[in-house]
């Protein structure tokens, strides 16, 4: 697999760990004697990986086992990302590789799913002749019919965006699972319209999933040995559900009997079991409430970690990004986290370097915001113009690539420094760690995470994944804590 990834330049020199969306995941082998085999490769964010689990569940009912080897697949799906241009280029490079494979196996079906399918729709069939099937993120229930259509010799497309679909009743097949941590999708779409972002166009309007189906999924995971769930959404703080309507825009206009907000949902999931850790992502600075922070404080099993993307530290840039908060507002939210939860709460961010018209002084504001917050971690990008977005329509992408890259490297350097500083604070302290498995480097060591989402590595002794242990941290790098179990 490593070879394949290198071939398609996903791990090219300039893409390092800070770029979340460069990640690719591949389905695992599952042999339950089904007639046909599905290979699914997923790009981009955790939401996409989560969607691939829903897709696998739907396809399993249609007579497909999954495979990790595309050479033995009857159907290949690429679940794609459109967030930056490079993500789309990666998928196109991959499709041209599959084109070669298909020359020897013309019966093999190739489908493009997710954001790129939604953005390009049937145009993708014209541009990429190897593709048989194009399916947007709200149309996965239609996959059996679409696959049948291709079996009958036609091309198939469904990119209909729904206002209600949450796949609440579909029990995902866990792919790439460590059996300890799992992701639960709690909402879909986004109503925010940040000017740089393609997501509102590719994933549609915001809707929240039935909280009782979320709690049921968390309970089932716990019963099956899982000990941590991460609740996923583009803007979890804006989660809102009522028994009458789940679409946020409609809900806000309707008279409804009962509304469950994100703080209520967090509490419901935290109560599933004290040994089930609860995490969530992503929080939006404009929506995160003190009520959520107090709920985190109240339950020991809700982890002290918040991914709170700032994007920029300058108020004018934030305004043209349409983020709807100022630098001061953002700082007030960080102060609230420190006041209510404390200094040890992990905070991470996403940052964009070189957005349209950004000056050197405005870039410096991003660095000084970083100095103020001292993030534990950040995903950092340079601006990539996306067709159809508000920014593409309104502003010129006027910062030269070399300047974008230089500003990005300054942001990355600052983050490295802060990650190291934050990790050094943890040395000499005991951390409660949930063991996730062996460390990547050695089977004599285990690794897990502390509440603040930091990776901790320690000698395994007789312990196993899924257990909680107390680890005294004795040294660190910017990325990792090291120590020994103390009980």
Taking the least distance from each CB to ligand SAM, the nearer of 279 and 386 is: 386
- Does 208 bind ligand SF4 (CB under 6 A)? Our answer is no
- CA 207/CA 14 separation, integer angstroms: 36
For 354-443, list the strands marked E by DSSP.
377-382, 430-438
What phi and psi, each to the nearest 5 degrees, are found at residue 420? -65, -45
- Does 347 bind ligand SAM (CB under 6 A)? Our answer is no
Taking the least distance from each CB to ligand SF4, the nearer of 246 and 423 is: 246
- Does 407 bind ligand SAM (CB under 6 A)? Our answer is no
Minimum separation from the CB atom of position 350 to ligand SAM (A): 3
Q: Does residue 340 contact residue 290 with C-beta atoms inside 8 Å?
A: yes
* Residue 174: closest CA among 77, 22, 55: 55
- CA 278/CA 293 separation, integer angstroms: 13
- Please pick, from the candidates 95, 146, 182, 199, the single residue that binds ligand SAM as defined by CB under 6 A: 199
- Please pick, from the candidates 114, 136, 200, 354, the single residue that binds ligand SF4 as defined by CB under 6 A: 200
Which residues face 231 on adjacent strands? 184, 280
- Does 218 bind ligand SAM (CB under 6 A)? Our answer is no
- Please pick, from the candidates 87, 116, 139, 197, the single residue that binds ligand SF4 as defined by CB under 6 A: 197
- Does 235 bind ligand SAM (CB under 6 A)? Our answer is yes
Query: Any binding-site annotation on 303?
Result: no
- Does 84 bind ligand SAM (CB under 6 A)? Our answer is yes
- Does 284 bind ligand SAM (CB under 6 A)? Our answer is yes
Stretches 126-134, 190-198, 363-371, 399-407: which one binds ligand SF4 (CB under 6 A)?
190-198
* Residue 350: closest CA among 392, 306, 316: 306
Taking the least distance from each CB to ligand SAM, the nearer of 226 and 325 is: 325
Query: Any binding-site annotation on 45?
Result: yes
Q: Does residue 208 contact residue 235 with C-beta atoms inside 8 Å?
A: no
First to last CA, the chain: 38
* Residue 56: closest CA among 26, 85, 84: 26
287-290 contacts, C-beta under 8 A, 24 or more apart: 287/235, 287/237, 287/238, 288/237, 288/333, 289/237, 289/262, 289/263, 290/336, 290/340
- Does 192 bind ligand SF4 (CB under 6 A)? Our answer is yes
- Does 435 bind ligand SF4 (CB under 6 A)? Our answer is no
- Does 56 bind ligand SF4 (CB under 6 A)? Our answer is no
Minimum separation from the CB atom of position 84 to ligand SAM (A): 5
- Please pick, from the candidates 54, 133, 187, 199, the single residue that binds ligand SF4 as defined by CB under 6 A: 199
Residues in the chain, how many? 487
Which pair of structure tokens corresponds to residue 469?
């242990």
Interface mask (CB under 6 A) for ligand SAM, residues 295-314, using x and -? --------------x-x---
Instruction: Return the one option of ligand SF4, ligand SAM, none that residue 200 interacts with (CB less than 5 to 8 A, by type).
Output: ligand SF4
- Does 381 bind ligand SAM (CB under 6 A)? Our answer is yes
Taking the least distance from each CB to ligand SF4, the nearer of 232 and 473 is: 232
- Does 83 bind ligand SAM (CB under 6 A)? Our answer is yes
- Does 310 bind ligand SF4 (CB under 6 A)? Our answer is no
- Does 45 bind ligand SAM (CB under 6 A)? Our answer is yes
Query: Any binding-site annotation on 476?
Result: no
Q: Does residue 247 contact residue 271 with C-beta atoms inside 8 Å?
A: no
Query: Any binding-site annotation on 115?
Result: yes
- Interface with ligand SAM (CB under 6 A), residue total 18
Q: 48-67 as b/e, with b when 16 or more CB fall inside 10 Å?
A: bbbbbbbbbbbbbebebbbb
Query: Any binding-site annotation on 356?
Result: no
Which pair of structure tokens corresponds to residue 372?
């103020």
Q: For residue 24, is the peptide bond before it cis, meaning its omega torsion is within 30 degrees of 0?
A: no
- CA distances (Å), origin 141, targets 159, 279, 328, 361, 389: 12, 28, 44, 49, 28
Taking the least distance from each CB to ligand SF4, the nearer of 233 and 483 is: 233
- Does 44 bind ligand SF4 (CB under 6 A)? Our answer is no
Q: Does residue 246 contact residue 210 with C-beta atoms inside 8 Å?
A: yes
- SS3 per-residue string spanning 397-447: CCCCHHHHHHHHHHHHHHHHHHHHHHHHHHCCCEEEEEEEEECCCCCCEEE
Minimum separation from the CB atom of position 392 to ligand SAM (A): 9
- Does 102 bind ligand SAM (CB under 6 A)? Our answer is no
How crowded is the C-beta side of 276, counted as CA atoms within 13 Å?
26
Query: Any binding-site annotation on 21?
Result: no
* Residue 379: closest CA among 436, 435, 308: 308
Taking the least distance from each CB to ligand SF4, the nearer of 347 and 469 is: 347
- Interface with ligand SF4 (CB under 6 A), residue total 10
* Residue 224: closest CA among 273, 167, 170: 273
Applying CB under 6 A, which residues contact ligand SF4? 190, 192-194, 197, 199-200, 234-235, 284
Residues tagged in the binding site annotation for [4Fe-4S] cluster: 45, 81, 115, 190, 194, 197
Residues tagged in the binding site annotation: 45, 81, 115, 190, 194, 197
Applying CB under 6 A, which residues contact ligand SAM? 45, 83-84, 196-197, 199, 234-235, 282, 284, 309, 311, 350, 352, 381, 383-384, 386
């Amino acid at each position: 697999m490593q070879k394949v990834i290198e071939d398609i330049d996903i791990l090219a020199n300039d893409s390092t760990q800070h770029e979340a969306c460069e990640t690719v995941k591949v389905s695992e082998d599952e042999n339950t004697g089904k007639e046909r085999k599905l290979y699914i490769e997923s790009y981009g964010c955790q939401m996409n990986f989560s969607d691939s689990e829903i897709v696998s569940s739907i396809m399993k009912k249609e007579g497909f086992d999954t495979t990790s080897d595309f050479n033995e697949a009857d159907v290949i799906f690429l679940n794609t990302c459109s967030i930056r241009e490079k993500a789309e280029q990666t998928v196109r490079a991959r499709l041209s590789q599959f084109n070669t494979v298909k020359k020897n196996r013309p019966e093999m079906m190739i489908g493009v799913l997710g954001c790129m399918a939604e953005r390009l729709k049937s145009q993708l069939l014209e541009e990429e002749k190897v593709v048989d099937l194009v399916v947007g993120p709200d149309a996965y229930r239609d996959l059996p019919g679409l696959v049948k259509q291709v079996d009958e010799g036609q091309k198939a497309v469904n990119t209909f965006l729904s206002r209600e679909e949450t796949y609440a009743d579909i029990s995902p097949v866990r792919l790439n699972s460590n059996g300890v941590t799992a992701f639960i999708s709690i909402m879909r779409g986004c109503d925010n319209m940040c000017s740089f972002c393609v997501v509102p166009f590719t994933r549609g309007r915001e809707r929240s999933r039935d909280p009782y189906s979320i709690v049921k999924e968390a309970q089932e995971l716990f019963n099956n040995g899982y000990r941590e769930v991460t609740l996923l959404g583009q803007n979890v703080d804006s989660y809102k559900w009522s028994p009458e309507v789940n679409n946020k825009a409609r809900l806000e206009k309707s008279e409804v009997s009962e509304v469950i907000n994100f703080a209520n949902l967090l509490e419901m999931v935290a109560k599933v079991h004290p040994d089930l850790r609860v995490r969530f992502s992503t929080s939006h600075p404009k929506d995160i409430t003190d009520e959520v922070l107090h709920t985190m404080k109240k339950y020991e099993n809700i982890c002290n970690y918040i991914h709170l993307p700032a994007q920029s530290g300058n108020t004018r840039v934030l305004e043209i990004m349409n983020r709807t908060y100022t630098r001061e507002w953002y700082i007030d939210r960080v102060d609230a986290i420190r006041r209510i939860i404390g200094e040890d709460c992990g905070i991470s961010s996403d940052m964009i370097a070189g957005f349209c018209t950004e000056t050197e002084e405005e870039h410096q504001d991003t660095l000084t915001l970083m100095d103020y917050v001292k993030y534990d971690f950040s995903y950092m990008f340079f601006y990539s113009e996306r067709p159809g977005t508000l920014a593409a329509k309104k502003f010129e992408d006027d910062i030269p690539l070399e300047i974008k890259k230089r500003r990005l490297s300054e942001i990355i350097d600052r983050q490295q420094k802060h990650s190291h500083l934050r990790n050094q604070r943890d040395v000499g302290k005991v951390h409660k760690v949930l063991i996730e498995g062996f460390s990547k480097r050695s089977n004599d060591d285990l690794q897990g995470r502390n509440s603040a989402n930091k990776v901790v590595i320690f000698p395994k002794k007789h312990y196993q994944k899924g257990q909680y242990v107390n680890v005294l941290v004795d040294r660190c790098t910017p990325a990792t804590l090291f120590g020994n179990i103390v009980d």
